[in-house]
Amino acid sequence: MSFSFKQAQQIVRQLEHLNLSEKRKRQYGILFLLASASGLRCSELFALKLNDLDFEAKTIRVDESSDQRNKGKVGPRKNVSAYRTVLLYDREGKEALRLLKNFVKNNDSRHGLIFHSNNDTPLIETNVIHDGLHPALKALGLPQAGLHAFRHGCNRRWELAGLNPAVLRQQMGHSSARMMA
């Protein structure tokens, strides 16, 4: 299952109709669009900090992840290929970065986390799916899927755009070509 960037935009628009706080709707919307534009894993998105973003260079540095089995504790990546700088030079990437730049202007995290709970801890994937993604998907008549579907959609978009397989592997943080599917 994968979601295109266009579908991610539809999902974000549907968030407006959910019974969530305005802050949460905005946070989930940026999260879904960034996931779709960048191909980052949810554990990487949940560990993103302000100092990982370079809006001028249009890049995101990935050097930590949020361990979803340990209350979201942020720590090092599990393998060397997962440490990377993701370039967001395409139309979707530029759009996501534009929205993200506006979103982080009001960041109130003491730890610099971009996507955080009310307690200033990393978001938990099951909460994001249960509270935001699945209700939006149901309302749109789209099949139930997890946040990884945005990653698959990004990978597919870059493949169809003709991105060099070695560059695609680096962008996605894959250690081998076998993991590209």
Predicted confidence (pLDDT) at residue 30 exceeds the cutoff of 70: yes
Contact between residue 35 and residue 8 where contact means Cβ atoms under 8 Å apart? yes
Given this model, what pLDDT does residue 181 score? 44
Pairing state between β 53-54 and 84-87: unpaired
Confidence tier at 75 by pLDDT (50, 70, 90): confident
**pTM summary value:** 0.93
Residue range(s) defining the domain that contains residue 147: 5-180
What is residue 55's three-state secondary structure?
Answer: coil
Predicted confidence (pLDDT) at residue 180 exceeds the cutoff of 70: no
User: What DSSP string runs through 121-174?
Assistant: SB--HHHHIIIIIHHHHHHHTPPP--THHHHHHHHHHHHHTT--HHHHHHHHT-
Given this model, what pLDDT does residue 163 score? 93
- How far apart CA 138 and CA 64 sit, in angstroms, is 32
Into how many domains does the chain fold? 1
Residue 43 to residues 14, 24, 70, 82, 126, Cα–Cα distance (Å): 24, 18, 12, 11, 12
Confidence tier at 19 by pLDDT (50, 70, 90): very high
Q: How high does pLDDT run on average in the chain?
A: 92
Given this model, what pLDDT does residue 20 score? 97
Confidence tier at 162 by pLDDT (50, 70, 90): very high
pLDDT digits (tens, 9 = 90+) for 112-137: 999 999 999 999 999 999 999 999 99
Average pLDDT (8-30) is 97
Given this model, what pLDDT does residue 106 score? 85
Q: What CATH number has the domain bearing residue 96? A: 1.10.443.10
